Structure 1
């Protein structure tokens, strides 16, 4: 597109020259010093240029200045290529402002030296391996090979040498490999999900690619004979240590002590789902321990045999140990009675689904962190939070709220939530696939974006909650940043303009005397002057003078 942009630049310059020259030619023609044909040719060329831009509009430009010029000429927005990031897309608008769309997770990545969209669709590679089309962490999965285990108990007791890589993330010294003990059949591939059918007797092993890592789980179609112990080795980079995390999960620390990846505490659930909330109504925590020898950590899961054999447990049963890569961007939800990390879940939830964990209402709230440094110190004119609302308790509108809050992390739970400070917005947007209205639910967060901008904040964090947490009609499910479809992940959309620099070279007069920064003049009609500039060179700048009564400290008048 660079070639197109250069062509567009020439066209704009030519059009500008013609706009300037046409009146002159017309005036000269009135005096008999120019021909009608010259005027007609200039107008024809100008129309041709306008038509060319209409048929082949400039959609992107390298710099903000070039994009703003093209947007103004075409009266349509133009992307600023210099400002692309893994999560952010910036467009110049015809009115001279910029709009930044920040996704809660990566939407693009650098591949072979150029930007490409993140694409989690799985495909078979040479040798039978499975790869994602474009995954930020270079996700790879195993193909067919070896003999499948005769039982989960037998696979768990198999020697370490029987393990093979199931999923790998990263490359070289930074590679992490989750292993599987025993053989695997060729997986079935559908979008971002690989299913290894009958990887264990009566059960399938499923691996799902996410934007920041992967999820893997075991789906048992029938009750296992000897329980369902599961041992999964994990090969770590040099210097990385696996240790028990809060709530029964596992944290992975680098040699410097920084947590670089995490595995939440595993859970399992059966096939019973509440139709109004889509919540799994029969679920159980799974005990997990971790041991490490050298670069290999061994994760041992012990699902409750009594729950697996209970007559109230309806198969299939899903056993879910998930992993996730960490980033400054973050989203999660908490729910009353739950003690596990939900940051790898593809859902964000608000409200009460009508059930209890013991005596505790299972009320849900969600938390998100966005990168905000990219519009620091800008003049924000509008900001919207957009959440893809795919399910609600009913089609009736119910309010949900956006609050400024502290940042959530892997340790965030219902009993340990970030502090909510100010309620920023209330939205009644209610969407649901059941109502055939699934789509964006939005909230106006302009005031909060202005606060982040003024504070030059690196990141901004928010909390979402239902306005009435006792009303089941307020229950809503949104997609999180881990959803495969990047058109549905949470988004912060901010329209802004850069602040001009504060005035310098202040003068009043003439003549004037300056004492302690106060200009004194012997005139009631002084001339005031200052110098300034704006980041956007084409912008008009409005300077404001305040006239203050020094005796009272009150502003008498302002002049623009």
Structure 2
């Protein structure tokens, strides 16, 4: 049972009706669209994307810059329109120059193609909504290799609000560093067990968007509504017109006019709830 806060309901600024939704009690993993990297010594993503690692940071006394690129699938998923409770980018780190290096994750704001990405053709990133992690793992560190978490709630919320999900770039916090690098397992590494080394994953805990109801009245002769699909109903609604008897009349009717006409002439009308449910209510 869900019990609303009495103080909230008593607030004079609250408008009714009030819709109550609950946060998901499980973590949702998004699909991985691709992961790769480019550097001065490995300039082409078309080759690097098939390797079992992605690399970020600085090496070779500061002469080589490594940048890793990861993209997930947020658009057209149940995440859209929801509210982020927690969002973790999880990367399996197995080599580092030190047990305490620092790599930053920044949101990518321009499009890129994993097959054509190269050192001289990289997408732009923003200085906002970033996340850094000071931890590092290495087979020579006392804790060995392991998974690092980046909390990227602000980044993911932007994608769920409709911003293009071009993904995340990993790089050294300061690319003027002499030595600061990490190697992470890529999706090509091939293992996805919960506690095994694995490629990048994004887990999101969120409150789903409240369902939206769209009502589409349609007038028709007789007592039996026409058999239509959800897609046909949606297209009918998006056309902006409601017509008599499934035929194009001289005058398009608004939903209110269609309903009034059905009542006045003894016709039946069907009301459809789209998006959240697809069912008929008869009058």
- TM-score bracket, normalised by the shorter chain, equals 0.5 to 0.7
Q: Which residue is 1:381 aligned to?
A: 85
Conserved 8 A contact 2:89-2:203: yes
Distance 1:493 1:388 in 2: 14
Are the structure 2 counterparts of residues 102 and 96 from structure 1 closer, same or farther at C-alpha, using a change threshold of 3 Å?
closer
Helix, strand or coil: the match of 1:433?
A: coil
Give ranges in structure 2 of 5+ residues lacking alignment: 2-21, 215-275, 277-283
Conserved 8 A contact 1:376-1:456: no
Q: Which residue is 2:125 aligned to?
A: 420
Q: Which residue is 1:496 aligned to?
A: 206
Shift in Å at residue 339 of structure 1? 3.5
1:435-450 superposed matches below 5 A = 435=141, 436-450=143-157
Shift in Å at residue 468 of structure 1? 2.4
Aligned pairs, how many?
Answer: 184
Distance 1:398 1:428 in 2: 6
Q: Which residue is 1:401 aligned to?
A: 104
- Which of 160, 166, 173 is residue 453 of structure 1 equivalent to? 160
Distance 1:95 1:447 in 2: 17
Helix, strand or coil: the match of 1:450?
A: helix
Distance 2:163 2:182 in 1: 32
Are the structure 2 counterparts of residues 460 and 381 from structure 1 closer, same or farther at C-alpha, using a change threshold of 3 Å?
farther
Q: Which residue is 2:73 aligned to?
A: 371
Conserved 8 A contact 1:408-1:417: no
- Structure showing greater relative contact order (alpha-carbon pairs closer than 8 Å, 6 or more residues apart): 2
Q: Is 2:94 the partner of 1:390?
A: yes
Helix, strand or coil: the match of 1:482?
A: helix
Give ranges in structure 1 of 5+ residues lacking alignment: 1-15, 17-93, 105-328, 505-534, 536-560
Shift in Å at residue 351 of structure 1? 1.1
Instruction: Report the structure, 1 or 2, having the larger strand content.
Output: 1
Are the structure 2 counterparts of residues 337 and 438 from structure 1 closer, same or farther at C-alpha, using a change threshold of 3 Å?
closer
Conserved 8 A contact 2:60-2:179: no
Conserved 8 A contact 2:34-2:71: yes
Instruction: Report the structure, 1 or 2, having the larger helix content.
Output: 1
- Which of 460, 465, 480 is residue 186 of structure 2 equivalent to? 480
- Which of 100, 121, 134 is residue 28 of structure 2 equivalent to? 100
Moved over 6 A (4+): none
Q: Is 2:56 the partner of 1:354?
A: no
Look at both structures and tell me which one has the larger radius of gyration over its CA atoms: 1
Conserved 8 A contact 1:380-1:495: yes
Distance 2:159 2:23 in 1: 23
Conserved 8 A contact 2:35-2:68: yes
